[in-house]
Amino acid sequence: MRKYGFIIGLLLLAVVAHAQYPGFRLVADASAFKKEFASVSARTNTIKSDFVQEKNLSMLSEKIVSKGKFWFKKENAVRMEYTTPFQYLMVINGSKVYIKDNQKESRMSSRSNKLFQSMNKLLMDCARGTVFDNADFTVRLFEGADQYLAELTPVSKEMKGFFKKINLVMKKKTYLVSKVEMYEPSGDNTTITYSNQELNTNLPDALFAVN
């Protein structure tokens, strides 16, 4: 009976995986994927791309769509600039954070806010290829015809309060993260899709200046 129960359990797990993400199945060799993902990330010194952010709020019938540009430079520098329909800039350089919202400017340390520190770490880990070693999440890996999907489920109390799960979608050919899906306990969700990605181009340090 235990043998049959085990087999039924595996079948149910496979059914759940396919039902949850149509067109995807669990990755058979997760360690091989992680090794290749880390290897590609190690060779990536800079990333430049456009992005589109779509936010779905349970209280609104229409999506809130924003557009902008994203830059990353090893080891710990990120610039995320929203240009449409509003202007908003966030620059992270090490533990220093600079935010400009229209004409209002603010500077802070990511170490002063636990959530910001965790999200900063997640963002950097995605770019550096170390996201699967992040102790704030448990990870399940899926693969489709031309994409991988990493499902990150928060384990810390702080992160559970803000996210139900975070999905990272990666291109199979390049292992680049092309989409980030963030699901909140309230039912709201945000999707950021990256396009026109350029790797290892020269990015001036001034882009990441935090004065």
How far, CA to CA in Å, does 210 sit from each of 48, 123, 155? 19, 18, 32
Residue 79: what pLDDT? 93
Residue 137: what pLDDT? 87
Tell me the pairing of strands 147-154 and 77-84: unpaired
Residue 123: what pLDDT? 74
- Whether the ω angle into residue 185 lies within 30 degrees of 0, i.e. cis, is no
What mean pLDDT, rounded, does the chain reach?
A: 83
Superfamily of domain 21-203: Lipoprotein localisation LolA/LolB/LppX (2.50.20.10)
pLDDT tens-digit map of 84-100: 999 999 998 888 889 99
Residue 189: what pLDDT? 92
The set of residues, in sequence order, having a beta carbon less than 8 Å from that of 157 and lying 6+ positions away, is none
* Segments of the chain with pLDDT less than 50: 1-19
CA distance 2 to 189: 40
Q: Name the pTM for this structure.
A: 0.83
- Whether the ω angle into residue 184 lies within 30 degrees of 0, i.e. cis, is no
CA distance 169 to 173: 12
How far, CA to CA in Å, does 26 sit from each of 14, 29, 172, 178? 8, 9, 14, 19
Boundaries of every domain in the chain: 21-203
